[in-house]
């Protein structure tokens, strides 16, 4: 079974994004998973849609959290995705 696809949307000069990176890294590394980061600064469509919600974390294309990433919730979502 493939690992869940974890994507963190961020933007430049975002203090919440730094905390979100740390949170996503802690959770994913604890589960042996990888994740990617995508900046909305280089994508007009994403910037239009998510400008007021950054940072945003997606798991398998579904928005799971924004602003402050809840590590316990992210871990539950990822464990469920791994088990599926």
Domain with 45 in it: 6-83
**Cα distance between residue 8 and residue 73, in whole Å:** 15
- Report the pLDDT value the prediction gives residue 84, as an integer from 0 to 100: 83
- Does residue 43 lie within any of the structural domains? yes
Q: At what angle do helices 15-30 and 71-83 cross, to 10 degrees?
A: 40
Domain membership of residue 1 (yes or no) is no
Tell me, yes or no, whether 15 lies in a domain. Answer: yes
In the predicted model, what is the mean pLDDT of residues 7-26? Answer: 97
For residue 38, is it within any domain?
Answer: yes
Is the residue at 39 inside a domain? yes
| 42 has a pLDDT exceeding 80 | yes
pLDDT value of residue 2: 77
Domain count, the chain: 1
Any domain includes 40: yes
Residue 15 belongs to a domain with what CATH number? 3.40.30.10
* Closest to 56 in 3D by CA, of 80, 34, 39: 39
- Residue 14 located in a structural domain: yes
- With 0-12 / 13-18 / 19 or more C-beta atoms within 10 angstroms meaning exposed / middle / buried, residue 72 is exposed
Structure tokens at 13: 């000069």
pLDDT, averaged across the chain: 96
1 — pLDDT class (breaks 50, 70, 90): low
- Residue with the larger pLDDT of the pair 2 and 81: 81
pLDDT in tens, 45-74: 999 999 999 999 999 999 999 999 999 999
Once rounded to an integer, what is the mean pLDDT over residues 74-83? 96
């Amino acid at each position: 079974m493939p690992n869940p696809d974890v994507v963190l949307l961020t933007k430049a000069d975002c203090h919440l994004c730094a905390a979100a990176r740390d949170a996503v890294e802690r959770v994913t590394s604890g589960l042996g998973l990888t994740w990617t980061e995508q900046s909305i600064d280089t994508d007009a469509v994403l910037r239009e849609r998510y400008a007021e919600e950054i940072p945003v974390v997606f798991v398998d294309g579904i928005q799971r959290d924004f602003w402050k990433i809840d590590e316990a919730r992210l871990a539950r979502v990822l464990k469920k995705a791994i088990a599926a």
